[in-house]
Structure 1
Amino acid sequence: MTGTTSTPATPGTTTRRKKVVVFDYGFGNVRSAERALARAGADVEITRDYDKAMNADGLLVPGVGAFDACMKGLTQARGHWIIDRRLSGGRPVMGICVGMQILFARGIEHGVETEGLDEWPGSVEPLQAGIVPHMGWNTVDAPEDSQLFAGLDADARYYFVHSYAVHDWTLEITNAAMREPLVTWSTHGKPFVSAVENGALWATQFHPEKSGDAGAQLLTNWIGTL
């Protein structure tokens, strides 16, 4: 892993730490995310307060458990509306694990289909692998111009815990002025989407807050874009 460098501050000035809200809707390792973001240099708060979530430099949406339960919790906390409003204004949002999955159009668990936020088309479906859940360390295949994985070695490993994933990326860009999203893949049985960088919306299927130095660098990269 390559370290980061910073530009010295002008004498007599201070550099403001970026404010990141970890959205607390009842699903997610919010304390682990808080600690990891703070170590990466952010000013972090765990809250579901509307104004704080809207006005933060970055909003991180964690998620653990079932797709359906996470969507219900997010909706009850008005998180779906906050995410949509932030993205409409180009305000950064990052999803982690199920917090990434709910950004897709739908989740299918045990034959039951649940509507997601539909920021991206596609279905979250059971992993197609001999061993499920996918639990432990794995590598990723990131695009060369990825900002999220900048400074990270190609063989860096990240911590995954999941039984469902998106196996097909189906978003088509029809506007020539729009940049093609950067999609990162991993393999457990069949390849699946392990990260996406799409304008103000970024997400990872793995847990950067549990991924050691590589995860810390990744969060530092995200904070650096805020």
Structure 2
Amino acid sequence: MIAIIDYDAGNIKSLQFALDKLKIESVLTKDLQTIREAKAIILPGVGAFKDAMDSLNKLGMTEVLREEAANGKPLLGICLGMQLFYETSYEDGEWQGIGLLKGSVNRIPDMVKVPHMGWNTLQKHKESPLFDKISDDSYVYFVHSYAIGGSYDSDTLVASSEYGTTIPAIVQKGNVTGMQFHPEKSGEVGLQLLKNYGELIS
């Protein structure tokens, strides 16, 4: 069972629908014990970084996520959920994240239209089981104005997209994985990525 964190900042319905279609068992939950007992955790997210962190802190989830990550449980962050895994965000101020990954969340350069919204290709940086049955330069769906940057650990970069700058699109460090795009809205490629993730953690 995968616990999908419900903290009122999620793209929940389409994600649950995608997992159901793949026959990957999941539960949407605010319950800390359910999160602790799950075999894996997905942190989805849309909206503002500060509001999301305030909600996680209020619900007591920030520490639980740190504990479960330290215990080796697989965690997947999607879109804002991935950004929350990092140390700091500079979205309308300076805010502390969960701190599972090194780096910061910064606004996409204004040389391109912001938000970065629509389909863009994935460029692989390293081989990963996540890419099983996925061809090079596959398209996935993005909606975001901020991206990972600063002194992030480039060894964690699995795939990127180009949009005014190099956008870290998939990152992975041990049991912690992030996808900046929305796999649940990325058609067959997104479903395959979620299927591969499900097989990776089973």
Do Structure 1 and Structure 2 share a fold, with TM-score over 0.5? yes
Q: How many residues align?
A: 200
Q: Distance in 1 between matches of 2:6 and 2:120?
A: 27
| Higher Cα radius of gyration | 1
Gaps of 5+ in 2: none
**Aligned twin of 1:196:** 171
What are the Cα deviations for residues 145-179 of structure 1, in whole angstroms up to 9, with x where unaligned?
1122222011211000000001345328xxxxxxx
Q: What displacement does 1:121 show?
A: 1.7
| Cα displacement (A) at 1:32 | 1.2
Could you say if the C-alpha distance between residues 194 and 82 of structure 1 is closer, same or farther in structure 2, counting changes exceeding 3 Å? same
Deviation at 1:65, TM superposition (A): 0.5
Identity of aligned residues (%): 35
* Equivalence map 1:1-226=2 (5 Å): 19-110=1-92, 112-128=93-109, 129-168=111-150, 170-171=152-153, 180-226=155-201
Letter in structure 1 aligned against 2:178: A
In structure 1, C-alpha distance between the alignment counterparts of 2:168 and 2:190, rounded to whole Å: 17
Alpha-carbon deviations, 1:47-92, whole Å to 9, x = none?
1111111111111000111111111111112221121111111111
Once residues 134 and 56 of structure 2 are traced to their aligned partners in structure 1, the CA distance between those partners, rounded to angstroms, is: 32
| TM-score calculated relative to the size of structure 2 | 0.94
The answer to which structure has the higher helix fraction is 2
Matched AA of 2:180: Q
Q: Which amino acid aligns with 2:33?
A: D
Kept after mapping to 1: 8 A contact 2:42/2:75: yes
How far, CA to CA, are the matches of 1:134 and 1:192 in structure 2? Answer: 10
RMSD: 1.4
Deviations 1:197-218 (A, max 9, x none): 1111111000001001000000
In the other structure, the counterpart of 1:6 is none
TM-score by length of 1: 0.84
User: In structure 1, what is the Cα distance between the partners aligned to 2:172 and 2:22?
Assistant: 19
Letter in 2 for 1:92: P
